[in-house]
Structure 1
């Protein structure tokens, strides 16, 4: 699954508690939608109270969330018919049947199979039929019921199943084709004035059970035979190739039945099917694998799928070579969906995406949209081997799947876009993964990459694993591992690992074994300790170290880095000796002569922060101001981010950190500017209601003015964009920061562009790269006329990337009643799609005017939210899924900010005043 779906956005402001609440608004709305999405469930289920078991109170197997090790599925035959018109009860439903062949591993008189939100047909008072294979007589079914808490259909037998023997279990069922973005669900969209309905799936992590009864655990792999019944005007897709298509009449209705080739042996969470009226473009790779891009007809006609098609084949070929393993399927379908919960999902052979993650319009999409597409496609295709071919045994090791894909996505993208300057593009991992992970891992509410199995049981606990630590810290530590093993050894070990566990499952230590063997077999690679010893320290304990280097005497020390050094840590983390052999970036001796400086963690390959003695900091600052290019680009970003965060932890003075930004007058590279902007935004949000804000704005204005002038000259007064890939991103920073701080001419320029568009709505001459910034500034500077124009353009947008820009910009208005109206729109899916509601509230809450309005909105809609810590307590048993830790982290960050602000506001104010002239 693509990263980016978890809730982790910083919204801190001087109104500290409101800042945390703004974040919780997103969580709260998600909770309510989860509660409301099944409002028709009672009508659908139509079951009696006696069929539903009470809340678990026993130690019976059906009261445990993990399946027993008594049965192993081998094959499923699944037939589904999504009805894309309302039934007599005003509901959309799907009907179907499923039979699963399983082998008995241990004698048992009990069958537990996952089934949730399904109404199963009764056969002689039972919910299933059971038969033996190869002459085996199956015991009669004694009784069946649903265990709602653990999502089981429980089948008690009159006798025992025999070890080594196989059986078929047959069920018929009916389910709601809800718009809840989970399991088998429906999506609605408008095209050519008509409402279109499609049926699609999202099975990860525990939603396959909502589509058909199944053994819904990742290690329970099986072969799936899928058949879909659908309207003849639609097409059906699944994991395998279509092998048969026939028209028939069922109960007087003409339908098409599409049968697909059997899948490879795989996990339930990777099963996928789609019924739609979409169309496609296609090609074949050198080995004959069919590659297709599917989307709405208009999107395909407009060429929005062309870019994805052009990069899919080279990325697949790259990973085949990288893994030294052939792509195991006959086709690779990728489909862009109007409503989708995640950024994308790596279903084997049928990868599903949000439209913004797959569709690119050369006239409407920005360079950043293109980068997102190539990295997301690369991420999902990396999973075709790592995650799909070889799968984690349980969700406690999710980090290995997602962290690995988050690392190698940069490698695949580099191969697909070689002109983007391979080194600098790959270096962006420090912005989007390394520093992102640091921000969370420096909290006491972080967690180890790998948890114990018993800590991850419930669907909520599983959902909680899809977070920044799993994705971004996972990517960062695997990058570090690759660096000290060398990429060649790393890839060799991966190849052997994939071949050994193909079509099976594994745990993280299995990968360590194969990497160790690869290192042992490669001359010139000598590790100071085993891969197990080195890496287990990084994945079995939470947090990161800060390494302090004293260049006066050469001493190097380290300790657990926490933003709040006084915080109580429940999970103690020790980093003794870890850095010195886990990274090749630190070398002895560290003692230097007068005038020399030490820079540790070269290329930021190690997962740690670095602090120095004051004299070395001074020498580094002097080097930055005299000739910053002596220090590598990545390390300039590292110095900025380390300094600010070490200062936030009160290890060094905040004014020392602020001084790292003085050299930005001369900086033209994207990565250091983005690292600086991220930290400066923290200050903008922190002080936007205090007297510090004006002085800070004046200082930043002075620092960004040369960058703004640089791009004005480079682009012939903003009439073009730079040719360099990352230069285009730096240009956006220059425009955004210059307009935000009042650099002369900037706002007039952007407002004139927007006004020109308002005068001629059919011709938008604003470059796609700059639209997000221009739209936001113009709407913030304007009133109802500008806002209403933006809303109209959003309603008419046919390119998803353009819609995102407009939806974000509408939250920039400074007019309270417009923000309140926008908040209300999030409650109506016909105005703001459900998948976009939470991010829209986040945009509004990050606006200083919108923040208290967002809190009022929460209170008006959910009166049980009245105090931050009480909110957490009241909902502890309900569970927030991936939002649980976001809630805890919001509280911890807020507490730390209040304390830090009290100690540092005055010196920060004095420094900005002194440096802004």
Structure 2
């Protein structure tokens, strides 16, 4: 599944203007965590707080007294195929409800003799046949089983079927149910999405089954390992089209309850997990690939979006990415078609339903006249992510959700390779650093992090599963797979994937199976490693966190230690590896070539790493490894001096790495904050995107901590001092902002330049961008603002304006037919400095007619990133938590709410407010439980950091802005 509520790059960059950019960083830091814990001897952790530090405590899983009181299927039966017929109503009934009716026949095999059948059914009204909810029939001559009783067990969402005598092992049976349910707007299961076209309200019936919502659409064995073949039939109005995972026959005209309808039947699916099912009934249009293509590729969206060509880019890149993936996996695309559909209401970024991928509109649609380069990258990246799943996740699926990282971490990593192939000038393989790896490190350096892979028994309930959809699973998963691919080589990695997919196609696996096939490829290629793939990689997936590698360039000593951002935090999560990793350390000296050192113990020595007084050593070249690097003070000073004298001698990724490592090491008390700040002094000569992105991300944290204090003035002055040359550089090479640079990363840095300049008060910047906005207000139908700049321009104009500017932006957002444009305006509306406008905007999130449910956390997070709006957003969340919680949307939704609103918390009073919020809403936290605990840990770390660094930070910035350099 594509990621959920992470702010887009345009919104994040706009945030530099008024500290809005910090929202993206803090949300990445505060994304929700599961209670997933490590394998084997590990015990699950339930986090509790204390004022001085964050301390986990342990519980043990309870054993249910009865099978239906647990959350796992007993495995005594296994489905073979389903026949499902559904009829969604696209108009409300007399009670104002949208409903669907349907029936399901599942043919299953009895694995072990049993007198109990459990099948999932959630929020469905099941018709009774006499005294029971099902009809049960024996097949192939087997007698019809005698049913004793049936009932629904809501806590575990089981339909319980007790029999008078056992089913026969090896026998085949048929279970029939007839049901109806609500086609609600909660974005889960079978739900409705709404939009307006030519002044007429339109309703789409669509699905989101992952992870545990197929049971909301029809009774089914709703676990990944319960693969089956699905025969889907949809009944729908004559003016609509029906889509599902496989190809369909021509619709048949039928009459039901006096209504003229269509019935569309679909070809049997491949054998697949129920969470990958999808069906859509809509009035959308489509474009498709040329007829000579082997695979039918279609892009579906609202008719106006298709007419405007918003699907063209997605169609073009789908073919390129599929070609890359077929070559990368050495395996043909496993289906006959690939439908991709953009939905107005969707809780995540996208979902990899096999053959019918569903997307949020901003993740699939692109308009070159209105969308930014960030929007374009997002479309390419999400398409590549979801197509990667067609093999890795769909063809071969994890056995249980505890290994979700196998699906999502892999798809995240490969998505960058796919886009790099489709857009070779973008340097996408470099952009994985800021987009995934740095964010994952920020999260994984906390005591409340979790291992990539957990024990099955620790991940049982749906809310526990939902919490796994976090940045550890996606971004850290991608980072460790990237590291693995690098040290065994990409060619060997790809070869191992091919044999893995070939052996396990249409079945389920655990991570051991992947290690086995990669080891086979390593052995065949003769790659030398310090140990087996399994021994090396289990250190990275079965324990949380990562190491900081410290190199003493005076002695050649090298050591590792579990890195924690807050050194006062106490980690009591057991690790059989004692928080020790087998670390591939790449390094180079002044003017030397890249070398490799395997750190296999806590400490080691490499005398080749010793340097002279005027030399420097750099480790983790291009950040290939998932670890931070610390040096002795002499090498730090030499690296900073090199950056100051000739920064281009340091690879661009490592210039970003030095900055990010230094700031995080300073927060963890390995080095001083003044040394970390010194790594940014060379930026007045830097024009590359990656170092500036790392710097603004880390400096935004300092701004968040001090933007309500006297320290803010010198900080802002320093940003103005360092940012002015960058602003002047882009003013010069773009003919005073009239042109757009050709390079993808230069376009990002151009936006950074103007955002930073306006936010820090560079002369002429504010007048430039507010002038553009006023020109648009004068001609609303002629927006000449370059799409790359719009987030920045909109935010700055609204921040410096009043009701007139706010109302104009609100009206233009309501009229926007392009989702990415609406998102830019939505983010900017939170920049206003007028409390009454902020309050009005926050309350709009409670009205889906004004702000879609999927967008509520984005609005609240953007308001909270505004210093004026933050306390208002916090009060709003506390007053309306119950309603926001019931909005649905899962872990991404709730994490965005809490992560954004608590980003500035740095006082004991705010910490106690968080504690009170947790206590007051103990029964209404669900998937947000770990997000609250994370916010508390972050707040406590912020309190300690501010107390210890306030004076040093003030003096350093004051000195740097008053001295000539």
With structure 2 as the length reference, what TM-score do the two structures score?
A: 0.89
2:916 corresponds to which residue? Answer: 870
1:830 corresponds to which residue? Answer: 849
Alpha-carbon distance between aligned partners in 1 of 2:856 and 2:27, rounded to the nearest angstrom: 13
Among 691, 704, 708, the alignment partner of 2:723 is 704
1:591 equivalent in alignment to 2:593: no
1:181 equivalent in alignment to 2:226: no
2:863 corresponds to which residue? Answer: 844
1:579 corresponds to which residue? Answer: 583
Alpha-carbon distance between aligned partners in 2 of 1:377 and 1:904, rounded to the nearest angstrom: 44
1:470 corresponds to which residue? Answer: 473
Matches within 5 A, 1:379-458: 379-420=385-426, 424-458=427-461
Among 365, 386, 394, the alignment partner of 2:371 is 365
1:487 equivalent in alignment to 2:490: yes
Alpha-carbon distance between aligned partners in 2 of 1:796 and 1:474, rounded to the nearest angstrom: 40
1:123 corresponds to which residue? Answer: 129
Alpha-carbon distance between aligned partners in 2 of 1:165 and 1:284, rounded to the nearest angstrom: 47
Residues 63-112 of structure 1: per-residue CA shift (max 9 Å, x gap): 11010020111100000000111112110000000000110000000110
**8 A Cα contact 2:6 2:27, kept in partner:** no
Residues 523-581 of structure 1: per-residue CA shift (max 9 Å, x gap): 3x112100000000000000111011101111001101011112110214534462157
SS of residue paired to 1:674: helix
2:536 corresponds to which residue? Answer: 534
SS of residue paired to 2:222: coil
Among 633, 640, 651, the alignment partner of 2:670 is 651
1:860 corresponds to which residue? Answer: 879
Residues 849-894 of structure 1: per-residue CA shift (max 9 Å, x gap): 000111222343359999312332444454432x332221111010
**8 A Cα contact 2:31 2:471, kept in partner:** no
- Relative distance call for 1:470 and 1:582 in structure 2 (3 A) is farther
- Relative distance call for 1:313 and 1:347 in structure 2 (3 A) is same
Instruction: Give 1:4 shift.
Output: 3.6
**8 A Cα contact 1:304 1:360, kept in partner:** yes
1:318 equivalent in alignment to 2:363: no
Alpha-carbon distance between aligned partners in 2 of 1:863 and 1:169, rounded to the nearest angstrom: 38
SS of residue paired to 1:611: strand
Instruction: Give 1:304 shift.
Output: 0.3
**8 A Cα contact 1:6 1:467, kept in partner:** no
Alpha-carbon distance between aligned partners in 2 of 1:239 and 1:19, rounded to the nearest angstrom: 37
Alpha-carbon distance between aligned partners in 2 of 1:581 and 1:750, rounded to the nearest angstrom: 46
Matches within 5 A, 1:157-168: 157-168=163-174
Alpha-carbon distance between aligned partners in 2 of 1:304 and 1:576, rounded to the nearest angstrom: 49
1:910 corresponds to which residue? Answer: 955
Alpha-carbon distance between aligned partners in 2 of 1:590 and 1:305, rounded to the nearest angstrom: 53
SS of residue paired to 1:158: strand
1:2 corresponds to which residue? Answer: 2
2:88 corresponds to which residue? Answer: 82
2:766 corresponds to which residue? Answer: 747
Among 935, 938, 961, the alignment partner of 1:890 is 935
Instruction: Give 1:138 shift.
Output: 2.5
Alpha-carbon distance between aligned partners in 1 of 2:161 and 2:376, rounded to the nearest angstrom: 51
1:192 corresponds to which residue? Answer: 198
Among 887, 899, 908, the alignment partner of 2:944 is 899
Matches within 5 A, 1:225-624: 225-284=231-290, 288-420=294-426, 424-523=427-526, 525-573=527-575, 574-576=578-580, 578-580=582-584, 585-586=596-597, 588=606, 589-624=608-643
2:35 corresponds to which residue? Answer: none
2:54 corresponds to which residue? Answer: none
Alpha-carbon distance between aligned partners in 1 of 2:502 and 2:76, rounded to the nearest angstrom: 27
SS of residue paired to 1:765: coil
Among 77, 84, 92, the alignment partner of 1:71 is 77
Alpha-carbon distance between aligned partners in 1 of 2:868 and 2:547, rounded to the nearest angstrom: 38
1:210 equivalent in alignment to 2:201: no
**8 A Cα contact 2:539 2:581, kept in partner:** no
Residues 610-638 of structure 1: per-residue CA shift (max 9 Å, x gap): 00000000000010011101100100010
Instruction: Give 1:115 shift.
Output: 0.1
**8 A Cα contact 1:664 1:673, kept in partner:** yes
Alpha-carbon distance between aligned partners in 2 of 1:916 and 1:572, rounded to the nearest angstrom: 47
1:149 equivalent in alignment to 2:155: yes
**8 A Cα contact 1:365 1:801, kept in partner:** yes
Residues 22-48 of structure 1: per-residue CA shift (max 9 Å, x gap): 979x999xxxxxxxxxxxxxxxxxxxx
SS of residue paired to 2:704: helix
1:880 equivalent in alignment to 2:926: yes
Alpha-carbon distance between aligned partners in 1 of 2:420 and 2:7, rounded to the nearest angstrom: 28
Alpha-carbon distance between aligned partners in 2 of 1:527 and 1:620, rounded to the nearest angstrom: 30
1:138 equivalent in alignment to 2:144: yes
Alpha-carbon distance between aligned partners in 1 of 2:433 and 2:529, rounded to the nearest angstrom: 25
- Relative distance call for 1:862 and 1:468 in structure 2 (3 A) is closer
Residues 717-741 of structure 1: per-residue CA shift (max 9 Å, x gap): 0011111111000000000000000
Instruction: Give 1:593 shift.
Output: 1.7
Residues 684-728 of structure 1: per-residue CA shift (max 9 Å, x gap): 111100111000000110001000000001110001111111100
1:42 corresponds to which residue? Answer: none
**8 A Cα contact 1:244 1:260, kept in partner:** no
Alpha-carbon distance between aligned partners in 2 of 1:121 and 1:719, rounded to the nearest angstrom: 66
Residues 433-479 of structure 1: per-residue CA shift (max 9 Å, x gap): 11111001110000000011111000000000000100000000000
Alpha-carbon distance between aligned partners in 2 of 1:439 and 1:27, rounded to the nearest angstrom: 11
Matches within 5 A, 1:679-698: 679-698=698-717
Deviates more, 1:652-661 or 1:590-599: 590-599
CA RMSD of aligned residues (A): 2.3
Q: Which runs of 5+ in 1 are unaligned?
A: 29-55
**8 A Cα contact 1:138 1:161, kept in partner:** no
Alpha-carbon distance between aligned partners in 2 of 1:228 and 1:327, rounded to the nearest angstrom: 26
**8 A Cα contact 2:250 2:264, kept in partner:** yes
Alpha-carbon distance between aligned partners in 1 of 2:121 and 2:4, rounded to the nearest angstrom: 29
Matches within 5 A, 1:658-807: 658-807=677-826
- Relative distance call for 1:816 and 1:67 in structure 2 (3 A) is same
Instruction: Give 1:757 shift.
Output: 0.2
Alpha-carbon distance between aligned partners in 1 of 2:117 and 2:521, rounded to the nearest angstrom: 43
| Number of residue pairs matched by the alignment | 880
Instruction: Give 1:800 shift.
Output: 0.3
Alpha-carbon distance between aligned partners in 2 of 1:413 and 1:27, rounded to the nearest angstrom: 25
Alpha-carbon distance between aligned partners in 2 of 1:604 and 1:549, rounded to the nearest angstrom: 16
Alpha-carbon distance between aligned partners in 1 of 2:7 and 2:181, rounded to the nearest angstrom: 29
With a CA cutoff of 8 Å and minimum separation of 6, indicate the structure with the bigger relative contact order. Answer: 2
Instruction: Give 1:314 shift.
Output: 1.1
SS of residue paired to 2:185: coil
2:48 corresponds to which residue? Answer: none
